Chains A and B, each alone.
Chain A
Amino acid sequence: EAQVTQNPRYLITVTGKKLTVTCSQNMNHEYMSWYRQDPGLGLRQIYYSMNVEVTDKGDVPEGYKVSRKEKRNFPLILESPSPNQTSLYFCASSLRQGAVNTQYFGPGTRLTVL
């Protein structure tokens, strides 16, 4: 089944404790991205990747890191999480290079930073 998976689905952590949210897709998609969703603000893009080893900042990249060592995986790293990073996070992928193609979203990761 074609899908985007994220882990963990729920995470409660404390300020400053490094964490990684994994994202994997099995559709051989080139473009992958991370979004955060907050009430009243919609979906905001954090980082995106056009292909392996090619990543770029979205609109809200501060406090986040990503890597794209393999085509299928695009982990989101919070080196020193803070309470303002409490949010619902979605990973997404699309077939081709560029943002103009259909985005397939993962199920989401709800993160709480205390």
Chain B
Amino acid sequence: GQQVMQIPQYQHVQEGEDFTTYCNSSTTLSNIQWYKQRPGGHPVFLIQLVKSGEVKKQKRLTFQFGEAKKNSSLHITATQTTDVGTYFCAGPGGATNKLIFGTGTLLAVQP
């Protein structure tokens, strides 16, 4: 079945360093969503990308959707302690109405 993998599974950075997480789907996605889950919290929607090659920015966060619409990335510039949490990508499950989440990347930021 369709799989959505994320790497790395875990990353520990010093505050001020950059961070990137990568999302790879086994199938082409019509769109991709990104969510953030703070420790002890629930996933919160960040953004949705629809077009091939699309790049969107939210302050220090930059999201990209690959040309082939099978991969995506989230880059955080100059991390802050408030960026701590798990970042998930998610995409539609092919012809069904399922939503397939990636395995997530846990970001730890040391002050």
Which A residue sits closest to B105, measured CB to CB? A42
In this complex, how many residues of chain A approach chain B with their Cβ under 8 Å: the count is 27
Chain A residues in 8 Å Cβ range of B58: none
User: Do B98 and A43 touch across chains, with their CB atoms under 8 A apart?
Assistant: no
Contact with A along B37-65 (1 / 0, CB 8 A): 00001111100100000000000000000
User: Do A42 and B104 touch across chains, with their CB atoms under 8 A apart?
Assistant: yes
Which chain A residues (17-38) contact chain B, with CB distance < 8 Å? 31, 33, 35
User: Do B100 and A100 touch across chains, with their CB atoms under 8 A apart?
Assistant: no
User: Do A48 and B43 touch across chains, with their CB atoms under 8 A apart?
Assistant: no
B92 near A: Cβ within 8 Å?
A: yes
B66 near A: Cβ within 8 Å?
A: no
A84 near B: Cβ within 8 Å?
A: no
> A residues touching B (Cβ–Cβ < 8 Å)?
31, 33, 35, 40-45, 48, 50, 56, 58-59, 90, 92, 97-100, 102-108
User: 7 smallest A-B Cβ distances: which pairs?
Assistant: A99-B99, A43-B101, A105-B42, A42-B103, A102-B45, A42-B104, A99-B97
